[in-house]
Structure 1
């Protein structure tokens, strides 16, 4: 019989995969990898603010991640160079969060748990939050699936079809903030972007239609979570990085299969 903490960790990892799979597909299609990275780095600032104001860490992370994603989207519409803007905001938010945490009085914080995740320490309440977030993201993406695909293919085509590309970008922004908030406990701020991008990139080699890519991204993410936990349990390696390593291995495998 598996230990309870491993069962909880497995459920948490699968929940993150369910949330990150479909959203990660849009991140890959829209080439938003750095956008996701910047939003994830802002999560550390959310942790610091949550500790300062004594609110739940998930709530603080969600608010700051949403603010960062919304701010970046607003700057994108103003013609700013996105690579430089994202670089500045990403590293500034991460650094500000690390500095702010050091000023929280009377609180000892294990920063590695927030940077690289601590999936083995998730509790029942964490699982409820993760699966609640996964359900919200899945429902949001399913509801806007067709308009999101149209806006991703061509914003001009979306406008001609009566779809507002800015609204669809806002939907992705909200979904990204939710995924960052629920995934922080599992893989940490530095690895969230990897769980968005790597399974979706691996799924692209196995898919011919968008729906299949979203499905395979969820499946690969779930297998990576379970495989990473097995590696961590058997080899005494860090759980969060192990999950990403397994996902990267699956990306390499699917790439080789596609070439053959």
Structure 2
């Protein structure tokens, strides 16, 4: 009975992250924002260190730092640096500052490996409420702004002509991405969050005839990766977050092979 409750808790945590990350990951893929997602996720380590140092809730701290990172990228972009260079500098600087800040924490025990690669086994019922609350908030936000987000993604000029502000929609995506990072850090860790955003969406692409279908298929791939990875991790005693990403990568490879055969 204890094991059943434990497995239910971890399975629900993985599903919560998967269904929140999948539709958002589609926009990350369409807009070619993979580096942006990486930079935001890496900033989570600095958020964890600051949260523990100031004694605030980790979800709040990670969310605040992730939003600050996204705002910094938006502010500095187009000011003399290529976007990929800027994101590379900020992503690695954020995780380095986070690791250094963690070394200055006294009287606080911090398992950096758990925050870097995730520790879904340590997710509590309170964490589960936060994960699902954040996941549902992200789904509601994306569902509410779906048409505007899609139009601004396809053509910014068309969006402007339709009365849609592309910068506002970029801010919506930024907020959603920060929430996903904050809820996912305990499940897959800062280094693997971007993978759960991008890989299910990329795997869904060959099977999608419409954007809506791609988002739904991506959610299915993410769910299979989360639950299948959890079962495989228990079976082979491997890192749960990493196993989820490995399974997602295998599904992407199979999807790519299927697409190649269709094209031939």
Q: TM-score range by the shorter chain?
A: over 0.9
Deviation digits for residues 48-89 of structure 1, max 9, x if unmatched? 000110001111000000110121122225464111110111
Deviates more, 1:192-201 or 1:249-258: 249-258
The aligned counterpart of 1:258 is 259
Equivalent residue runs for 1:232-251 within 5 Å: 232-251=233-252
TM-score under structure 1 normalisation?
0.98
2:215 aligned with 1:214, yes or no? yes
Q: Distance in 2 between matches of 1:143 and 1:201?
A: 23
Q: Distance in 1 between matches of 2:171 and 2:71?
A: 7
2:158 aligned with 1:168, yes or no? no
The aligned counterpart of 2:96 is 95
Q: Alignment partner of 1:187: what SS?
A: coil
Contact 1:9 1:120 survives alignment (8 Å) = yes
Q: Distance in 2 between matches of 1:152 and 1:84?
A: 22
The aligned counterpart of 1:46 is 47
Q: Distance in 2 between matches of 1:114 and 1:14?
A: 19
What is the CA-CA distance between 1:258 and the residue it aligns to? 1.7
Q: Distance in 2 between matches of 1:103 and 1:3?
A: 39
Q: Runs of 4+ in structure 1 displaced over 3 angstroms?
A: 77-80
Q: Alignment partner of 1:208: what SS?
A: coil
Q: Distance in 2 between matches of 1:247 and 1:193?
A: 12
What is the CA-CA distance between 1:205 and the residue it aligns to? 1.2
The aligned counterpart of 1:17 is 18
Unaligned runs of 5+ in 2: none
Aligned pairs, number: 260
The aligned counterpart of 1:134 is 135
TM-score under structure 2 normalisation?
0.96
